[in-house]
């Protein structure tokens, strides 16, 4: 029995209709970002920038005192020769790059450690000398000033870091004795000039150039601080401190009578030879 044939069973399938190519189909068309994609990209960029800024802020927010404290502790325990910037960074909890950005080498870091430590000694002494307790009494004002100078010198001799550096790394101090003034010495000179000028205003210090007087006081006191230990223990430190007090007080005290006339050497830089009679000249 023949099966019924579908009306289209023997017909060919119609050919697929092809769309004519548009002129712009030859090249890919640029995709316009959606508003959502633009917002997402901006958010990602802002987040990355914020993270970078936060990282930089966290790095730069480390106080210098944290690093200086770590360096000072290492100087006390292992000395300058065994201290490295890498070890200081580890002790301070900062990266080495952070350290290198602030201190390019160990010497500059040690210099800042010393400057901070010495300033902690000098500034309180200067404040004590200028607290005004002596009023306007010349002798009391000068005594207060000289006492503060001697006390500051004694504080250096008792400072653990100063003693450690003198004992193991004295060459660190040599440039500031032989070649140039350091930060602390400049600070001392500024403070001395102010104190000497104020003392002179009430008649406690003799007339003279405060800058020149400040330098001589610094030289005398610095010599006591650095060289007293080299003199041995035949004379006690207290006795030497008393002599330093008397020397500074005598140097700064106004003369009791009219100032002496000091004659300089004659032109040419030499004094005329003294005329001395031969013992047998009149015999």
Mean pLDDT by 10 residues, the chain (283 residues): 46 46 47 51 47 41 89 95 95 92 94 95 76 75 95 95 92 91 94 94 94 96 91 89 96 80 58 45 45
- Cα separation values, 258 from 105, 206, 208, 247, Å: 56, 12, 14, 21
pLDDT at 260: 58
133-161 per-position pLDDT tens digit:
656 799 999 999 999 999 999 999 999 99
The CA-based dihedral angle spanning residues 70, 74, 76, 82, taken in that order and rounded to the nearest 10 degrees: -160
DSSP 123-153: HHHHHHHTS-TTTT-HHHHHHHHHHHHHHHH
Nearest CA among 143, 165, 70 for reference residue 109: 70
- CA–CA distance, 74 with 12 (Å, rounded to integer): 97
Q: Which domains does the chain have, with CATH numbers?
A: 62-102 (1.10.10.60), 113-252 (1.10.357)
pLDDT at 267: 56
213-248 per-position pLDDT tens digit:
999 999 999 999 999 888 888 899 899 999 999 999
pLDDT at 160: 96
- CA–CA distance, 44 with 49 (Å, rounded to integer): 9
**Sign of the C-alpha dihedral computed for residues 248, 251, 253 and 257 taken in this order:** positive
């Amino acid at each position: 029995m023949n099966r019924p044939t579908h009306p289209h069973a023997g017909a060919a399938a119609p050919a697929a209709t092809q769309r004519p190519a548009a002129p712009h189909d030859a090249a890919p068309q640029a995709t316009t970002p959606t508003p959502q994609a633009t917002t997402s990209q901006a958010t990602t960029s802002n987040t990355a920038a914020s993270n970078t800024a936060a990282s930089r802020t966290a790095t730069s927010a480390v106080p210098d005192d944290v690093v200086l404290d770590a360096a000072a502790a290492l100087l006390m325990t292992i000395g300058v020769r065994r201290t490295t910037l890498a070890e200081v960074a580890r002790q301070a909890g900062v990266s080495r790059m952070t350290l290198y950005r602030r201190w390019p080498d160990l010497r500059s870091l040690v210099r800042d450690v010393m400057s901070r430590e010495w300033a902690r000694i000098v500034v309180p002494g200067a404040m004590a000398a200028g607290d005004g307790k002596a009023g306007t009494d010349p002798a009391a004002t000068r005594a207060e000033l000289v006492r503060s100078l001697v006390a500051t010198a004694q504080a250096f001799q008792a400072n653990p870091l100063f003693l450690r550096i003198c004992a193991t790394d004295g060459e660190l101090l040599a440039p500031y004795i032989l070649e140039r003034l350091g930060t602390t010495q400049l600070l001392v000179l500024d403070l001395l000039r102010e104190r000497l000028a104020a003392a002179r205003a009430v008649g406690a210090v003799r007339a003279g150039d405060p800058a020149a007087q400040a330098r001589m006081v610094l030289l005398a006191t610095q010599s006591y601080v650095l060289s007293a230990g080299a003199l041995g223990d035949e004379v006690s430190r207290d006795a030497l401190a008393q002599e330093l007090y008397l020397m500074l007080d005598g140097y700064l005290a106004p003369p009791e009578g009219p100032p002496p006339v000091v004659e300089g050497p004659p032109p040419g830089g030499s004094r005329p030879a003294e005329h001395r009679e031969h013992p047998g000249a009149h015999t």
